[in-house]
Amino acid sequence: MADILSQSEIDALLSAISTGEMDANDLKKEEEKKKEKVYDFRRALRFSKDHFRSLSRIHENFARLLTSLLSTQLRTYVQITVASVDQLPYEEFVRSVPALTVLNVFESAPLEGRMVIEVNPNIAYAMLDRMLGGYGAGMNKIDNLTEIESKLISQLFEKFLKPYSEAWSSVIDLEPDMQAFEINTQFLQMASPNDTVVVISLSTAIGETSGMMNVCIPHLTLEPILPILSSKQMISKKNDSFSEEDSKKLESQVRWAPITLKAILGEATLTVDDVLDLGRDDVIPLNRRLDDPLVVKVEESPKFLAQPGKKNQHLAVQIMEIISEGDDENE
């Protein structure tokens, strides 16, 4: 960001130019020199702004799904939002997180390579405290977790993978699989020190405890799908996301949905006095003849014409005709 001059500095600059102490052409040459920027090849920029926007949208969806999951699991206030999306060398990411922290390493087929979700120890212990019946107090005791505590935490974080897969479903169908649970960054080997990684930081609040979770994805892992992560490709993929397979799944679920089916023997209109005067052996005439077909309704809509009968000593109807939409049937 360019330096902002104060009013006195501006006045002094204008005065120097007007008196000839400073040449305006020299200022132009200096401005041209400033256009040259230092480029660090160890920190190559491999992700574009479009990629950042797409990754941000994906992980905003992940944050929303994860908030819902943890609220249900921990039964307390949970709020997770995307704080930032950055690219940096893997070595710098390792230095930026605590030496002892919670590292959930997983693979996501068909993408190659490993990803990691790093969780601040205070946040991880607040989750554990809630799981064990506490108030969700944060405490950095990650260096001496018992085997039972480690198992409980790893099982909870394994549930993160399903919402993570759902968040990516608009881009690619992932099958995440937890590979390792570590607490020491020295044992985390997922990329070379100078390899570029993208780090999505999630601001997390569990009850009264707040902290950060970081999703780290190597560039080599995302490289095959970088063209899809452009804004235009994301929109096209989103429009085509409801595939034929999704239609079949929806159809199979609808087929097993319970509905109400009833056959109407006939109808009659009575006054309140008629109903009060009814007694044993009284006959109520219906508005249908014995040889008239019955109307069979599905969820109050006339769908079939049928005739009454019995099957296996049970009252039944036999479908005779399908009522087309728009047909008027006098009941």
Q: Are residues 198 and 125 in the same domain?
A: yes
CA–CA separation, 294 and 318 (whole Å): 10
What are the backbone angles phi and psi of residue 178, rounded to the nearest 5°? -65, 130
Residue 295 falls inside a structural domain: yes
Q: Is the pLDDT of residue 153 over 60?
A: yes
CA–CA separation, 229 and 47 (whole Å): 10
Q: Is the pLDDT of residue 240 over 80?
A: no
Q: Is the pLDDT of residue 299 over 90?
A: no
Q: Return the axis-axis angle of helices 49-74 and 121-131, rounded to nearest 10°.
A: 30
Q: Is the pLDDT of residue 164 over 60?
A: yes
Using the Cα atoms of residue 42, residue 45, residue 51 and residue 53 in order, give the sign of their dihedral: positive
Residue 197 falls inside a structural domain: yes
Which residues, including other chains, have CB under 8 Å from residue 61's CB and lie 6 or more apart?
Answer: 166, 167, 170
Domain containing residue 177: 43-248
- Condensed to tens digits (0 to 9), the pLDDT of residues 205-234 reads 988 888 889 999 998 888 888 888 875 555
Q: Select from 214, 248, 282 the last residue of a domain.
A: 248
CA–CA separation, 248 and 258 (whole Å): 18
Q: Are residues 282 and 307 in the same domain?
A: yes
Which residues, including other chains, have CB under 8 Å from residue 288's CB and lie 6 or more apart?
Answer: 265, 266, 294
Give the Cβ contact number of residue 95 at 10 Å: 11
What are the backbone angles phi and psi of residue 211, rounded to the nearest 5°? 180, -165
Residue 108 falls inside a structural domain: yes
Threshold 0.85, pTM exceeds? no
Residue 125 falls inside a structural domain: yes
Amino acid at 39: Y
Q: Select from 226, 248, 270 the last residue of a domain.
A: 248
Task: Count the domains in the chain.
Answer: 2
Residue 180 falls inside a structural domain: yes
Q: Are residues 215 and 75 in the same domain?
A: yes
Q: Are residues 210 and 268 in the same domain?
A: no
- Condensed to tens digits (0 to 9), the pLDDT of residues 26-38 reads 666 555 555 555 5
Q: Select from 248, 283, 309 the last residue of a domain.
A: 248
Q: Are residues 291 and 194 in the same domain?
A: no
Q: Are residues 137 and 232 in the same domain?
A: yes
Residue 8 falls inside a structural domain: no
Q: Are residues 308 and 190 in the same domain?
A: no
